[in-house]
Amino acid sequence: MFSKIGLAISFSPTGKALVKESLRLQQIFNSRLALIHIGERNSESETLLFQTIDEAGADRNNLEIIWGEGDPATAIIKAGKEAGIDLLVVGALEKEKMLKFYFGSVARKIMREFPASSLILKSPSLEPVPFKKFFISADYSLRCEKTIRAAFQFALKENAQEFTIIRDFYMPGLTAAIGDNKTYDEISALIDQMKYDEEEKMKLFIQELNLKGLEIKIVCMYGKEGWEDSNYARTNEADIFAVTGPEKKMGFLDRLFTHEIEFSFETLPANLLIIK
Amino acid sequence: MQLSAGQITTFLLSISIMLFLAKILGELFTKLKQPAIVGEIIAGILLGPTVFGMISPESFQWLFPQHGEIKIALDSFTTVAVILLLLISGLDVDLSIVLSQGKKAISTSFMGLVAPFILGFGVSYLFPQLMGIGEDGSKFVFALFMGTALSISALPVIAKTLMDLNIFKTRLGFIIIAAAMLNDLFGWLIFSIILGLIGGNTHGFTFEQTLFFTITFVLFVLSIGKKIINRIIPWIQTKISFPGGILNFILIMGFLGAAFTEFIGIHAIFGAFIVGIAIGDSVHLKENTRQIIHQFVSNIFAPLFFVSIGLRVNFIANFDIVIVVTILILAFAGKVVGCGFGAYWSGLNKNESLVVGFGMNSRGAMEIILGILALQAGLIHEEVFVGLVIMALFTSISSAPLMSYFLKEKDKTKFKYLVKEEFVIISNESEKEKVISQLVDIASEELKIKKEIIFKEVMTRENSLPTGIANYLAVPHAKIKIKEPFMCIAINKKGINFEAGDGLPSKIIVLLLTPENNNELQLQLLAEIASKFKEKDKVVKLVSCEEKSEFCEAMREMA
């Protein structure tokens, strides 16, 4: 599924835990592992990096170490692309400070711009365990089909206990359209009907994907797209929240008028699996 | 200055009558599938100088005096009403939708703003007399206003039309809504700048200062202000009584925004509108809060405002056919051509672009608000105002039928249009591969695609999960390289085992082929077909049809 996993590693306190998490992923996907470190390569930095790798119990001969220089996010993206990484593991804070979020942190930039899939771990563990609760943000696109299939394969490998597909949908201007000529009951009934229709459609969609081996739960919610599903994953303590990577480059305006996937980037609802 | 008991009585009586007639006519027009605003404006015309004032001038003057304290009280009331109207209009604007719709919404909105603006500005500047400029009016400012007036859209009317036409939740619906939202934001911004340009402020700010404050206000409220509001709302909703607390907060913020923009020399409504956008953007604002404030404003304040329009102006005395027709032509030409071209440019086809153009053409309440403010500011005369009101009503009423006409093309993807007699066969086969093969023969010939390709796709899907649904129905299907969906049907009276959930053999076998890049269309059609076969009795009747034509007719008529 993922033939080469990359790990963006710095000398942060979570470095060792990230290596351990990556080693576990390498095993379950039976893939190669590459560590990407951005910073000046000298004896001191080499020692520090090797120490982290050794302490994590990794075999240095069994992994590739890529050194890079320059702006960390740009250099990681470039190195990951050149090394043919198809799943990049990155550690990230659950929430950045407002200014840092607007003007871009390393992890957020990677989430938005890395051309292949990425897994953003918000609290990597020194004793990693399999992810048990998978929540997937879904629509009916072909790209999302890929996301669901990838997350499903991942969940199967993890022997997950829960696999929930969340479909959130929103109709901007709905209140304006019906607010002055319908009663509360009529409006509630209308929204309930829309939820029911979406649920039926999503059931069909999932049925078409013919996924076997795990029970799939479907949840449809009315509300801001991207917010409702990430909030649902957060409140239900998801281990993995899988989303389809942005189709176009996300910019400052997308952060200012937060929408869709940017809600998950703004505050990580769980470990974020971005499928591209 | 204080109102006497008699004046208070008259004031309350006049408000009651306005509300009563507005509600009656508003409801009547809603029942006629027209915007309530049309009824409310007509209520004002009936109560105003046009009708009531003509029939009984003294009673009219007593109930709705045109000067004095009661008039001031009523004007204050309608000023609050219009501020609240713009506040709730702002709540409906979701700028993130514009971003998610991307180029299509932006180019539609941009062209829908620029084309009518240039047309309105150009004609008004070159032929000011034709457009009804006053003797002492500035040609430039008048032309600026007419350009803006023609470029504004009315989101509530547009949203309602999309809902009635059942295209609200479609790609086209989202583009229209997103474009209208962006259109409104820029329309009101330009109009506010025009008001600043004519020097309406009493606090001594220069035009440049007003412009600076306006832009700073917009940027602040829509960035930092929005984030702060988003943090305050959940706190209010959990700590203070609901819905009183949050309604109170929304009104306070709206009035504060309105007071600020009035202070800097642009109209109060702009501040309320921008604050409305910031509040409406909050993910924590509950849907029922939106509905409560909408009901509150739409049923009390909006009718009062729209009735007051008719009270101010004599629509017969100020009716100028040349101005009305000119404004109508410019409005239609600018908006339909502008938005239509913008949509076409962004990649929509001709019919879809026309649907977008006519959809965006609704001016509704926004045009009337803009017109009355311009009238109060002395920018335009009554004749032009009447022309704008008529244009607003006409564009709102005509939007749905014109959109509906061009939407017919889109209906080709609906189930009932896919049922065609020439694509129905009577089959006597007893194996599913054979009946699928028969259907694939028809599809192959019609779509000019090799039979093996279609057959392979359909069987791959069939083998992965059998397509027997229930009630004698099976829908073998596949996604292939086609542009439009295709459907053909086999009637098999013996029935074939498609492993349906209810164990019944399938007697109606529908082969459904859809474009490979459109999951949603396939799901929509599958869901539609399944829903039509929910009632077993109807299906039994359908199976008993002897003639293909009879069968097709019955299929199309199935609820």
- Nearest CA to CA, how far is B520 from chain A (Å)? 6
Domain containing residue A205? 130-276
Q: Say if CB B83 and CB B335 are below 8 A apart.
A: no
In the prediction, which pLDDT does B412 show?
65
Q: Domain boundary residue among A129, A149, A176?
A: A129
Residues A121 and A140 in one domain: no
Give A86-139 pLDDT, tens digit per residue: 999 999 888 877 766 666 688 889 999 999 999 999 989 999 999 999 999 999
Q: What is the mean pLDDT of residues B477-485?
A: 89
Q: Is A99 on the interface with B (CB under 8 A)?
A: no
For chain B, list the domains and their CATH numbers.
5-411 (1.20.1530.20), 414-557 (3.40.930.10)
Q: How far is B339 from B107, CA to CA, in rounded Å?
A: 8
Q: Domain boundary residue among A110, A129, A148?
A: A129
Do the Cβ atoms of A141 and B91 come within 8 Å?
no
Do the Cβ atoms of B523 and A194 come within 8 Å?
no
A207 interaction partners in chain B (CB closer than 8 Å): 465
- Of the pLDDT bands very low, low, confident and very high (cuts 50, 70, 90), residue B542 is confident
Q: Kindly report the pTM of this predicted structure.
A: 0.83
DSSP string, B424-472: EEE----SHHHHHHHHHHHHHHHHT--HHHHHHHHHHHHHHS--B-STT
Task: Using DSSP, state whether B106 is helix, strand or coil.
Answer: helix
Q: How far is B530 from A140, CA to CA, in rounded Å?
A: 18
Q: What's the ipTM?
A: 0.83
Give B118-167 pLDDT, tens digit per residue: 999 999 999 988 888 877 678 888 898 899 999 988 888 888 888 878 78
Residues A259 and A166 in one domain: yes
Torsion angle of alpha carbons B22, B24, B29, B30, nearest 10°? 100
A200 interaction partners in chain B (CB closer than 8 Å): 527
Asked whether the predicted pLDDT for residue A180 surpasses 70, the reply is no
Residues A65 and A145 in one domain: no
Residues A65 and A195 in one domain: no
For A175, which residue in chain B has the nearest alpha carbon? B291
- In chain A, which among 180-209 make CB contacts under 8 A with chain B? 180-181, 184, 187, 191, 194, 197, 200-201, 204-205, 207-208
Mutate to test the interface with A, among B291, B299, B461, B514 (most CBs of A within 10 A): B291
Residues A111 and A213 in one domain: no
Q: Say if CB B360 and CB B392 are below 8 A apart.
A: no
Do the Cβ atoms of B519 and A145 come within 8 Å?
yes
- Of the pLDDT bands very low, low, confident and very high (cuts 50, 70, 90), residue A220 is very high
Q: Say if CB A28 and CB A56 are below 8 A apart.
A: no
For B516, which residue in chain A has the nearest alpha carbon? A142
**Number of structural domains chain A divides into:** 2
- In chain A, which among 204-233 make CB contacts under 8 A with chain B? 204-205, 207-208, 210, 222-225, 227, 231
In the prediction, which pLDDT does B52 show?
94
Residues A248 and A139 in one domain: yes
Using a 10 angstrom Cβ sphere, with 0-12 exposed, 13-18 middle and 19 or more buried, the burial of residue A239 is buried
Q: Say if CB A172 and CB A107 are below 8 A apart.
A: no
Q: How far is B352 from B174, CA to CA, in rounded Å?
A: 13
Residues A231 and A201 in one domain: yes
Residues A75 and A181 in one domain: no
Using a 10 angstrom Cβ sphere, with 0-12 exposed, 13-18 middle and 19 or more buried, the burial of residue A78 is middle
- CATH number of the domain that A134 lies in? 3.40.50.620
Asked whether the predicted pLDDT for residue A41 surpasses 80, the reply is yes
Residues A144 and A122 in one domain: no
Give B301-315 pLDDT, tens digit per residue: 989 999 998 898 899
Mutate to test the interface with B, among A144, A145, A174 (most CBs of B within 10 A): A174
Residues A178 and A202 in one domain: yes
Q: Domain boundary residue among A71, A101, A129?
A: A129
Residues A72 and A199 in one domain: no
- Nearest CA to CA, how far is B110 from chain A (Å)? 17
Q: How far is A170 from A176, CA to CA, in rounded Å?
A: 14
In the prediction, which pLDDT does A179 show?
62
Do the Cβ atoms of B162 and A177 come within 8 Å?
yes
A260 interaction partners in chain B (CB closer than 8 Å): 96, 100
A198 interaction partners in chain B (CB closer than 8 Å): none
- Mean pLDDT (chain B, rounded): 88
For B171, which residue in chain A has the nearest alpha carbon? A171
Give the DSSP letter of residue B225: I
- In chain B, which among 74-103 make CB contacts under 8 A with chain A? 88-89, 91-92, 94-100, 102
